[in-house]
């Protein structure tokens, strides 16, 4: 077990604002069950069990705040809360940030509730990198040949330099204050593109191999198959 501990506080924004459109489900994907327990609870329990967050902010779609409260209230601690998200991922991120009072050396982690397979070791290494470099993200290396389609041909990219972005992503409090002072000229798709738009690069931290985002129905079936592998991986 990694013995790393932060010098400041750690806040987690758990983004849970989906409505089920891409899943083509009557209920949002975060409420669908994975091995008899909602995906949202799988993700929330990961951070509760990690034990290093001062506060967890669950950012929910306004139509599902009561459902989230009903599902998660038994796990949420005194300093944890549920807040209403925005119309976009970035809007939800800003809503979560506005609900906390963070200091320069604090760490703010942002995670998709639809990614239930994050390990404590992932969180330790990501948070340590965030503390050192200012902005960091979990990512996975590529092992396939990568092609870029062009008009009349294909271009072979250097697969050694290709990574796949994951979450959580982390930012140190002083860097977050800095990028919030100046509005972005674009709508950031995630924390790293937000920082990049201000000229701040992100440190890549290799994720465990099972960090799947559940987006479509086929992903849920894959997650069911991955779950015992991930549980075994954590015991190794």
DSSP label at 42?
H
pLDDT value of residue 1? 47
Q: What percentage of the chain reaches a pLDDT higher than 70?
A: 96
Which pLDDT score is estimated for 112? 97
Taking residues 84-106, what's their average pLDDT?
Answer: 96
- Token pair listed for 203: 């440190």
Strands 154-157 and 107-112: unpaired
Beta carbons of 109 and 170 less than 8 angstroms apart: yes
Instruction: Name the residue with higher pLDDT: 82 or 24.
Output: 82
In this prediction the pTM is 0.94
Query: Domain coordinates of the chain in residue numbers?
Result: 10-235
Number of H helices, E strands in the chain: 7, 11
Region 6-28: what's the mean pLDDT?
A: 83
C-alpha distances in Å from residue 220, one per residue of 32, 114, 161: 9, 10, 29
As a whole number of angstroms, the distance between CA 179 and CA 196 comes to 10
CATH number of 10-235: 3.90.550.10
Within the chain, residue ranges assigned H as helices are 39-50, 65-72, 89-97, 120-133, 173-180, 191-196, 217-235
Instruction: Report DSSP state, residue 143.
Output: -
């Amino acid at each position: 077990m990694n013995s790393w501990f932060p010098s400041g506080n750690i806040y987690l924004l758990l983004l849970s604002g989906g409505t089920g459109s891409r899943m083509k489900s009557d209920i949002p994907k975060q409420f669908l069950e994975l091995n008899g327990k909602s995906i949202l609870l799988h993700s929330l329990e990961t951070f509760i069990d990690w034990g290093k967050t001062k506060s967890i902010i669950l950012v929910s779609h306004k139509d599902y705040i009561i459902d989230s409260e009903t599902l998660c209230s038994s796990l949420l601690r005194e300093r944890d809360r549920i807040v209403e998200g925005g119309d976009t991922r970035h809007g939800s991120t800003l809503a979560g940030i506005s609900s906390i009072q963070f200091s320069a050396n604090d760490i703010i982690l942002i995670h998709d509730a639809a990614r239930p397979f994050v390990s404590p070791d992932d969180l330790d290494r990501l948070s340590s990198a965030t503390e050192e470099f200012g902005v960091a993200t979990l990512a996975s290396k590529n092992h396939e040949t990568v092609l870029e389609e062009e008009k009349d041909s294909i271009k072979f990219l250097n697969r050694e330099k290709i990574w796949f972005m994951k979450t959580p992503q982390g930012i140190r409090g002083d860097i977050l204050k800095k990028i919030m002072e100046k509005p972005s000229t674009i709508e950031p798709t995630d924390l790293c593109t937000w920082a990049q738009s201000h000229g701040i690069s992100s440190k890549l931290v290799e994720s465990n191999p099972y960090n799947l985002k559940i987006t479509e129905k086929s992903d849920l079936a894959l997650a069911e198959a991955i779950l015992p592998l991930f549980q075994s991986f954590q015991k190794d």
